[in-house]
């Protein structure tokens, strides 16, 4: 193999300017992140923001102390996303600002003495360099060969930038690596997607069914709050999970299912609910299409049939079906969020959607409500040029039902292949660490090596920044304006984020970066506002408020304009599907050559001596992006490998012992992970929290702590319907000796 075009560069290789670092407000060696003499006092100022530590985007207030330092962040009482209460990550968001490992100044990749290094640059130099190289790519290959990967609010500006240049290859891993299958499945069934925050009415539900959703460990704030309210009101919770999750421990029914067999359970539930006549007959009659086909289809899927597959007692399957039916329509079979598991995920989520339809929970109190948001006009700009090609042309005939750009499709189409006449040549990556976000790291790295140019914009030296041609330090959400948050909810509402303080180090907000780039690329007409305050104020005035008012209140609610929160008794409803009905039998899937009703497929089983790798979240971390945050690192500084004690005995493992992981394809974990022997996990699987095992030394706190699950995900089961990457058909075994020993000698 020839030398790689793009060596991984350690960001400090040319040393960070001492002058830049010395701006630190506090002394970490003393262990305090705020001035020690500080006393909580009344003389504070507060500014509105919405949180950027996860996608929930809770609105809150940033408080500063009398020295003018950021002190704490507290939820905004008027915000329906958080009801005045932030989650631990949002409360600890302060640490993102204070993290001394942040990217501090623009860096440009240079070759010096045959070695690739980063050179510190001024913003002028870095922006000129980017513009020059993007122009080169556009001249040679056309603007359509540029793609944007983004996860976060600032990415919207880069999206506008790409569209202005003539590309609409704007992708977020939140589709194909996460919630994509459920959106496509619900769209096929109800003609509408679930979106975020999920339109589920947990606070008024009488029965909440969680299938692999570990609410409480994933802190989807509003949902965790409402689950707690539901517990108070005596709602029943049914949790299907091979692991005794926190949610399972709060449940009336825990169903310790054999991993990868959820579809069999869903079909058996349908069988019982239909055959016992427990479905909502009026609702099904009035609103749905294909009931007779479905009824015939599920006849063989009895609880006894499912027992052999799921290992769940038929009686438990019947009892839980009854529990749901008794609560209906105030029942929620939860649509989940990260649902890319086995490659037939759209079909599994179709089964979830169908169950909800049978019980009549869509559009009903305690089930799924009708969300609404306001139209916030965009700043006027010339029409965007029509791209000549899109990501679909690079993936001919594939994923036709995908409703967003498939990130792994873009990644695949970056690697040259004889059956494609165009490849992606330039990536802009904002706020997503693709190395740990996309499964199959080898492929991601191969794609990166084939790029002509890559810009990464991030607050932290995440692994992806080491492969960039230019790395730009954006300031954190606490130091910048962004577009207003405008998301669907029970009540339409918007939220403002404004800087609580000046950007630390030599960092800049995304809106500023994009405006500068636009000028250099000749597309400044699309960004004709002078600065973001003018843009925001104009937008706010279109909907009857102003920047001034938003600064004072942070969140503004608007009255609903369209339908009600729930369907009325006997209301005629037109669903946005081919038949105008809720499609139990999907005409869309049929037309694309897929099963119109979900079927059970057996998935791969662990080879002897291997265990299925399940992964999930911890309440104090978001993906891999928070593990270096000083406050959140303090709460959880590494992940553990959950192992059933029976398995532990077989292998002679003890609690706290470090093991390396090896998967079915021979992939080895770079770092060891400590074993946690616990009865809370099935004997056929292991579990770890995602987002650890960072191998970038510049993340000084989290480097080498815990192991990376992504390294073990090499067997990717792509969902043929929408391109989702199923990640749960990977199996690991334990290596008690360091398998990398031989390699460290040189």
Partner 1 sequence: MRYAMAIDTKKCVGCSDCVVACQTENNVPVGYCRDWIVEVTDGTYPQLELEIRSERCNHCDNSPCVRCCPTGASHYDEGGIVLVDHDMCIGCAACIASCPYDARFTHPDGYVDKCTFCFHRVKKGQQPACVEVCPTKCMYFGDLDDPDSEVSVMLKKRKYKTLVPEAGTKPQVYYLI
Our CA angle for 444, 157, 118, nearest 5°, is: 50
Q: Which of 486, 364, 513, 535 is nearest to 431 (CA)?
A: 513
Of the pair 226, 344, the CB lying nearest ligand SF4 is at 226
| C-beta separation of 270 from 358 below 8 A | yes
Query: Nearest approach, Cβ of 619 to ligand SF4 (angstroms)?
Result: 7
Contact flag: residue 92 with ligand SF4 (CB under 6 A): no
Token couple for 296: 């015939």
Which of the residues 42 through 71 are near ligand SF4 (CB under 6 A)? 51, 53-54, 56-58
Output the smallest distance, CB 408 to ligand SF4, in A: 25
Q: C-alpha angle 641/643/644, rounded to 5°?
A: 165
Binding mask 594-633 for partner 1 (x = CB under 8 A): -------------------------xx---------xxx-
Residue with smaller CB distance to ligand SF4, 220 or 348: 220
Q: Which residues contact 700 (CB under 8 A, 6 or more apart)?
A: 101, 628
Instruction: Give me 219's structure tokens.
Output: 């802190």
- Should residue 647 be labelled a site residue for partner 1 when binding is judged by CB under 8 A? no
> Which run of H or of E encompasses 364?
none
Q: Which is nearer to partner 1, 44 or 305 (CB)?
A: 44
One residue of 221, 347, 539, 626 binding partner 1 per CB under 8 A = 221
C-beta separation of 49 from 478 below 8 A:
yes
Pick 53 or 673: Cβ nearer ligand SF4: 53
Q: Does 682 bind partner 1 (CB under 8 A)?
A: yes
Find which of partner 1, ligand SF4, none residue 628 binds, CB within 5 to 8 Å per kind.
none
* Burial readout 365-390 (b: 16 or more C-beta within 10 A, e: otherwise): bbbbbbbbbbeeeeeeeeebeebebe
**Nearest approach, Cβ of residue 478 and ligand SF4 (Å):** 12
In the bound state with ligand SF4, the residue whose beta carbon lies nearer, of 326 and 637, is 637
Q: What's the closest the beta carbon of residue 241 comes to partner 1, in angstroms?
A: 11
> Distance between CA 358 and CA 267 in Å, rounded?
12
Compose the 60-79 pattern: x for residues touching partner 1 by CB under 8 A, - for all others.
Answer: -----------xxxxx----
Mask for 224-263, x = binds partner 1 (CB under 8 A): xx-xxx-xx-----------x-x--xx---x-x-------
Cα–Cα nearest to 517, from 572, 453, 466: 453
Spatial strand order of the sheet with 453-458 comes to 115-120, 107-112, 470-473, 453-458, 426-430, 146-150, 170-171
Q: Does 632 bind ligand SF4 (CB under 6 A)?
A: no
Residue 371: which of partner 1, ligand SF4, none does it interact with, CB under 5 to 8 A by kind? none
Establish if 219 lies at the interface with ligand SF4 (CB under 6 A). Answer: yes
String marking each residue 200-219 x if it binds partner 1 according to CB under 8 A: ---------------xxx-x
Tell me the CA distances in angstroms from 326 to 158, 452, 568, 666, one per residue in order. Answer: 49, 60, 20, 49
Question: Cβ of 678: how many Cβ atoms within 10 Å?
Answer: 16
Q: Using alpha carbons only, give the angle 260, 436, 397 rounded to the nearest 5 degrees.
A: 65
Q: Which does 30 bind (CB under 5 to 8 A by kind): partner 1, ligand SF4, none?
A: partner 1
Pure H helices in 142-241: 155-165, 173-174, 180-190, 221-232
Residues that bind partner 1 (CB under 8 A): 28, 30-34, 36, 38, 40, 71-75, 84-88, 91-92, 94, 215-217, 219, 221, 224-225, 227-229, 231-232, 244, 246, 249-250, 254, 256, 619-620, 630-632, 634-636, 644, 678-683
Residues that bind ligand SF4 (CB under 6 A): 51, 53-54, 56-58, 82, 86-87, 89-90, 219, 221, 622
């Amino acid at each position: 193999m020839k030398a790689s075009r793009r060596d991984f560069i350690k960001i400090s290789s040319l040393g960070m300017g001492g002058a830049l670092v010395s701006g630190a407000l506090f002394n970490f060696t003393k262990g305090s992140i705020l001035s020690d003499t500080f006393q909580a006092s009344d003389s504070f100022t507060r500014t509105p923001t919405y949180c950027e530590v996860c996608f929930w985007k809770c609105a809150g207030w940033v408080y500063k102390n009398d020295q003018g330092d950021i002190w704490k962040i507290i939820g905004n009482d008027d915000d329906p996303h958080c009801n005045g209460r932030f989650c631990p990550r949002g409360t600890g968001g302060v640490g993102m600002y204070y993290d001394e490992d942040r990217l501090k100044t623009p860096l440009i990749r240079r070759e010096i003495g045959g070695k690739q290094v980063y050179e510190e640059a001024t913003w002028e130099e870095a922006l000129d360099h980017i513009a020059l190289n993007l122009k080169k790519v556009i001249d040679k290959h056309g603007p359509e060969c540029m793609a944007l990967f983004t996860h976060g609010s600032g990415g919207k500006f880069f999206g506008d930038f790409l569209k202005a240049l003539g590309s609409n290859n704007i992708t977020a891993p939140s589709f194909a690596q996460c919630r994509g299958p459920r959106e496509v499945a619900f769209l096929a069934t109800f003609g509408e997607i679930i979106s975020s925050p999920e339109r589920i009415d947990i606070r008024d539900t009488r029965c909440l069914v969680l299938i692999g959703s570990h609410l409480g460990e994933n802190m989807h704030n509003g949902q965790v709050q409402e689950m707690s309210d539901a517990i108070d009101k005596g709602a029943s919770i049914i949790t299907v999970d091979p692991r005794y999750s926190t949610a399972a421990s709060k449940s009336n029914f825990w169903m310790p299912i054999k991993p990868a067999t959820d579809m069999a359970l869903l079909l058996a539930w349908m069988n019982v609910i239909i055959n016992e006549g427990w479905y909502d007959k009026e609702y099904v009659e009035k609103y749905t299409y294909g009931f007779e086909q479905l009824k015939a289809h599920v006849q063989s899927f009895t609880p006894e049939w499912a027992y052999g597959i799921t290992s769940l007692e038929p009686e438990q399957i019947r009892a839980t079906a009854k529990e749901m039916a008794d609560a209906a329509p105030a029942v929620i079979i939860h649509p989940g969020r990260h649902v890319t598991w086995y490659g037939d995920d759209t079909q599994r989520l179709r089964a979830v959607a169908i169950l909800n339809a049978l019980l009549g929970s869509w559009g009903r109190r305690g089930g799924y409500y009708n969300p609404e948001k306001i139209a916030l006009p965009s700043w006027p700009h010339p029409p965007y040029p029509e791209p000549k090609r899109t990501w679909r042309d690079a993936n001919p005939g594939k994923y036709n039902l995908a409703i967003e750009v498939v990130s792994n499709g873009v990644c695949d189409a970056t690697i040259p292949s004889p059956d494609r006449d165009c490849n992606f040549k330039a990536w802009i990556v904002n706020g997503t660490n693709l190395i740990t976000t996309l499964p199959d790291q080898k492929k991601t790295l191969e794609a990166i090596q084939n790029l002509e140019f890559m810009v990464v914009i991030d607050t932290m030296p995440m692994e992806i920044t080491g492969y960039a041609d230019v790395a730009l330090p954006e300031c954190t959400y606490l130091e910048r304006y962004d577009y207003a948050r405008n998301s669907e909810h029970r009540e339409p509402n918007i939220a403002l984020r404004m800087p609580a303080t000046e950007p630390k180090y030599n960092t800049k907000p995304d809106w500023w970066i994009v405006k500068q780039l636009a000028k250099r690329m000749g597309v400044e007409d699309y960004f004709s506002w002078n600065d973001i305050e003018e843009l925001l104020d104009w937008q706010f005035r279109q909907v009857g408020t102003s920047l001034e008012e938003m600064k004072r209140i942070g969140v503004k609610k608007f009255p609903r304009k369209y339908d009600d929160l729930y369907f009325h008794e006997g209301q005629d409803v037109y669903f946005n599907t081919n038949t105008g009905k809720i499609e139990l039998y999907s005409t869309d899937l049929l037309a694309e050559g897929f099963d119109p009703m979900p079927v059970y497929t057996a998935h791969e089983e662990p080879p002897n001596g291997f265990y299925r790798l399940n992964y999930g979240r911890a309440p104090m971390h978001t993906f891999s992006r928070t593990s270096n945050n000083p406050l959140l690192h303090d709460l959880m500084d590494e992940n553990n490998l959950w192992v059933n004690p029976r398995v532990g005995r077989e292998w002679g493992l003890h609690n706290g012992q470090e093991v390396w992981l090896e998967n079915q394809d021979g992939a080895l974990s770079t770092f060891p992970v400590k074993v946690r022997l616990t009865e809370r996990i099935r004997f056929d699987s292991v579990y770890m929290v995602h987002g650890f095992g960072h191998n970038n030394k510049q993340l000084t706190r989290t480097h080498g702590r815990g192991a990376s699950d992504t390294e073990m995900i090499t067997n990717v089961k792509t969902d043929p319907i929408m391109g989702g990457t199923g990640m749960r058909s990977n199996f690991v075994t334990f290596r008690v000796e360091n398998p990398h020993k031989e390699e460290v000698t040189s």
